[in-house]
């Protein structure tokens, strides 16, 4: 096993903060406090605090997502907005989310109204907010876990913005030719990254069924073996003292500095 290297997101939030925000996103539908608009503390005090600028839930298809920003002394850090998408919510709404995993990423089913459309609406709101507050939308970051990671990749590729996702479902089959070329162009500079555990028994299998390969739409960053049986859970990742994921895969992130 390769020696783990320090991994940096360089896009406002650390990877540990992004991981926690992805965990919190699963509570949007049930109205968890940490997903409501306003200022919140991370459960780990060392991670500081964050702003939820907007949250979105669609009971018709189970979509859960939120727009967040780091907390600065004078308010939200609008220069580094992140869009967070929840994955398959087995606790609250598995029926809708399992259906979404198919309809989002398998043509022609992806054309029906559902989570893909909701993800696009939230992305547009984030981009509009960034432009209004900072004059540019080029520093918006997309993140998510599992199904939500696939939604994040889909939006990131469409808008040519960076994505840092965890155990993502691969949206390759619903990308058009231009979007696929964009993925290929950025493969070397790590614009689209998928953090994955060595013992993940879910992601690769699902992506093989969906796209014929396990890692087409993002470069996979292997992060060692997690303690869980399936290696698919956000809480199984390890981080260093600086809040960055412990990774085995070297990366190049010079273009996306905080």
116 closest CA partner among 162, 165, 154, 144: 154
How far is C-alpha 68 from the geometric centre of its chain's CA atoms? Answer: 12
Distance (Å, rounded) from C-alpha 211 to C-alpha 94? 22
Summary mean pLDDT of the chain: 85
For residue 249 the two structure tokens come to 């895969």
- Domains along the chain with CATH numbers: 5-256 (3.40.50)
Look at residue 10 and tell me whether its pLDDT is greater than 50: no
Taking alpha carbons only, the member of 68, 77, 170, 210 closest to residue 125 is: 68
Cβ atoms of residues 87 and 149 within 8 Å:
yes
Q: How many CB atoms lie within 10 A of CB 2?
A: 10
Q: CA end-to-end span of the chain, whole Å?
A: 30
Structure tokens at 228: 């869980």
Question: What's residue 9's pLDDT?
Answer: 42
The pLDDT tens digits for 109-147 are: 555 568 899 999 999 999 999 999 999 999 999 999 999
Q: Which residues pair with 3 in a beta bridge?
A: none
- Residues near 198 by beta carbon (within 8 Å), at least 6 away in sequence: 1, 222, 223, 224, 225, 226, 231, 248
In percent, the amount of the chain with pLDDT more than 90 equals: 57
Specify the range with the lowest mean pLDDT, choosing from 6-15, 27-36, 151-160.
6-15
Residue 76 CB neighbours (<10 A)? 20
Q: How confident is the model at residue 93 (pLDDT cuts 50, 70, 90)?
A: low
pLDDT at 4 over 60: no
- The CA distance from 103 to 201, in Å, is 22
């Amino acid at each position: 096993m390769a020696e783990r290297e320090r991994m940096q997101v360089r896009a406002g939030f650390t990877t540990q903060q992004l991981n926690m925000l992805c965990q919190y996103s699963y509570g949007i539908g049930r109205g968890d406090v940490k997903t409501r608009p306003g200022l919140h503390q991370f459960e780990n005090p060392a991670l500081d605090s964050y702003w939820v600028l907007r949250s979105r839930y669609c009971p018709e298809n189970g979509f859960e997502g939120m727009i967040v920003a780091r907390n600065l002394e004078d308010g939200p850090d609008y220069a580094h907005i992140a869009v967070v998408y929840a994955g398959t919510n087995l606790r609250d709404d598995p029926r809708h989310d399992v259906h979404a995993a198919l309809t989002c990423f398998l043509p022609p089913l992806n054309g029906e109204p559902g989570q893909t459309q909701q993800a696009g609406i939230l992305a547009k709101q984030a981009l509009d907010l960034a432009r209004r507050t900072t004059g540019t939308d080029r520093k918006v970051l997309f993140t998510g876990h599992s199904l939500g990671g696939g939604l994040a990749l889909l939006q990131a590729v469409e808008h040519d913005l960076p994505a840092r996702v965890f155990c993502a479902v691969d949206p390759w089959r619903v990308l058009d030719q231009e979007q696929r070329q964009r993925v290929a162009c950025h493969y070397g500079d790590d614009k689209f990254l998928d953090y994955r555990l060595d013992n993940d028994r879910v992601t690769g299998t699902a992506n093989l069924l969906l796209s014929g390969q396990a890692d087409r739409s993002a470069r996979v960053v292997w992060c060692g073996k997690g303690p869980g049986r399936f290696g698919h859970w956000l809480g199984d990742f390890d981080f260093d003292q600086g809040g960055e994921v412990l990774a085995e895969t070297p990366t190049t992130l010079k273009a996306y500095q905080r």
